[in-house]
Amino acid sequence: MAADLKFSSQHPKPASLSVQYGTAGFRTVAAHLDHVMYRMGLLAVLRSKKTKSVIGVMVTASHNPEEDNGVKLVDPMGEMLAQAWEVYATNLANAEEQELPAVLADIIRQEAIEMDQEAHVAIGRDTRPSSENLSCSVIDGVIALESKYHDYGLVTTPQLHFIICCRNTDGRYGEPTIQGYYRKLATAFNNLIDQAPGSIGGCICLNVDGANGIGALKLKEMEQHLKPVLSVKLYNEGFSGKLNCQCGADYVKVQQKPPQGIDLKPAERCCSFDGDADRIVYFYKENDGTFHLLDGDKIATLISTFIKELLVKAGLDLKMAVVQTAYANGSSTRYLEDIMKVPVYCAKTGVKHLHHKAQEFDIGVYFEANGHGTVLFSKAAEEQIKQLLGEETSDDKRKAARMLESTIDLINQTVGDAISDMLVIEAILYLKGLTVQKWDEIYTDLPNRQFKVTVADRRVIETTDAERRTVKPPGLQEKIDELVKKYNMSRAFVRPSGTEDVVRVYAESDTQENADALAHEVSLAVFHLAGGVGDEPRPLR
């Protein structure tokens, strides 16, 4: 390990800096990440040797400001890094330089890694100014352990996940190139559109906010594969504006207003990607200027309704469920359970928790309210659908099975993918003849409000029941229950942030005024019972 220590001196760890590998990997100010990137190159090599697979390293900070950056590792099937290895990542990133050989040796020993096993690492990056240099630091880490790498350069996060899955399945999931990604999705999209009733016709027009990020660049590359069916008008392409600055999915979701730089006309359908194109939200405005957001809950409802209808038409008895988080709007849960008769499960916040839960079903649909999500089909489900296509059955059943097969090919099952999800949504709206308004009217969201309360130490908050109830500090949950009873159709919960010393507060109620008031009162309770710092939370009005 002496060579590693010598090489690491070119990527020194800043004094007293401590970082934590979370759901989104490491994420902080870009200037602090050089040593982390180098060490994740080392860890990716060890993970590759352990799994005898290609491992991915994505350099991105997603929806964070342009000044930030981050890194996440991608496991063999395109999924997120195994939870047990998150601890290794954190230990490796925080080790002082002289400790590095020992920490590496400890991982090798604990995992019984054969160091003569060949390793392969695939690297991708977003469009941030810092990303190219930081990806070079990852490459240094791979080279330090004398291993092979492929630098895919500028890719969306979901594209790298797709490539990793393709490479580790010998191409069964698709061709492991960006052009292979474009061809697979475009073919599936066009196949779905071709199955629309002949009377529909016409071109799909869509406004897309690219968040001044990688998604805009890649959607522009893909456009030629989608014409003439889909016509995209791109805004915030990255030529002038800053990444995620007053634009992008997170901005639209949190601010509840259109991104800067988009000429929003009444009733026009628009969507926003985030910085690395793994989130998507839709929106439109009415003639009177009223803004409407269609977030991850609306997307999950549209997709699961479509799939459920196809399963019924095909006569397939597959176990399907929707997985949400505590942030899901109560109206979406009621609609899915009561009207569509689709079971709904709640998981902890964080895509890895939803993905894991969704794997328990034949078909698992999961979306966070922020627009990050996808659909997982079990191998058994895919085989049953293929089998139906080969059987002598009615035209209606065969057509439904064909549509299900195209839907499977159009969905990026490895991770939430803004481009893939956009194409799924557009195909469904086209096939069902729905406008964005009609989609929005499937159910009406309960008014809601989110606040955050700064505290001295977020660890004083402990939760249970998929983060919907608190167990610590004493008395806080009782106070929340008492406040919720004051308002109609209300609920509220609090959870500690995964990255900063703040507590996130969510409240919903029958009116916006009541949702705002409940969120404020719960924020006050958190401030007084969980060690709030600074000024007391103030009401919105």
- Annotated catalytic, 509? no
- Please tell me whether 499 is known to bind a ligand: yes
- Please tell me whether 495 is known to bind a ligand: yes
Order the strands of the 270-273 sheet from edge to edge.
230-235, 204-209, 270-273, 280-285, 291-294
| 3-state secondary structure (DSSP) of residue 505 | strand
CA proximity to 140, closest of 36, 227, 27, 28: 36
Residue that has been written with the tokens 């008014």 in this structure: 447
- Please tell me whether 75 is known to bind a ligand: no
- Please tell me whether 62 is known to bind a ligand: yes
- Please tell me whether 368 is known to bind a ligand: yes
Complete DSSP assignment for 39-83? HHHHHHHHHHHHHTSEEEEEE--TTS-TTEEEEEEE-TTS-BPPH
- Please tell me whether 168 is known to bind a ligand: no
Task: For the chain, report the end-to-end CA distance as a whole number of angstroms.
Answer: 61
- Please tell me whether 414 is known to bind a ligand: no
CA proximity to 229, closest of 406, 424, 430, 400: 430
- CB proximity list for 248: less than 8 A, separation 6 or greater: 63, 209, 211, 212, 213, 236, 259, 272, 273, 274, 275
Contact 533, 500 (CB under 8 A): no
Sort 17 into a burial class: Cβ within 10 Å, 0-12 / 13-18 / 19+: middle
Per 3-state DSSP, the chain is made up of helix, strand and coil in percentages (nearest 5) of: 45, 20, 40
- Please tell me whether 498 is known to bind a ligand: yes
- Please tell me whether 481 is known to bind a ligand: no
- Please tell me whether 109 is known to bind a ligand: no
- Please tell me whether 215 is known to bind a ligand: no
Helices marked H in 95-156: 100-110, 131-144
Phi, psi values for residue 394, rounded to 5°: -70, 155
**Cα 415 from chain centroid (whole Å):** 7
Complete DSSP assignment for 218-263? HHHHHHHHHTTTEEEEEE--SSSSPTTSS-SHHHHHHHTSPPTT--
- Please tell me whether 510 is known to bind a ligand: no
User: Which residue of the set 62, 130, 406, 420 is catalytic?
Assistant: 62
- Please tell me whether 394 is known to bind a ligand: no
Residue list, annotated binding site:
62, 274, 276, 278, 368-370, 495-499, 504
Which amino acids are annotated as binding site for Mg(2+), given as ranges? 62, 274, 276, 278
Residues involved in catalysis: 62
Q: Which residues sit in the known binding site for substrate?
A: 368-370, 495-499, 504
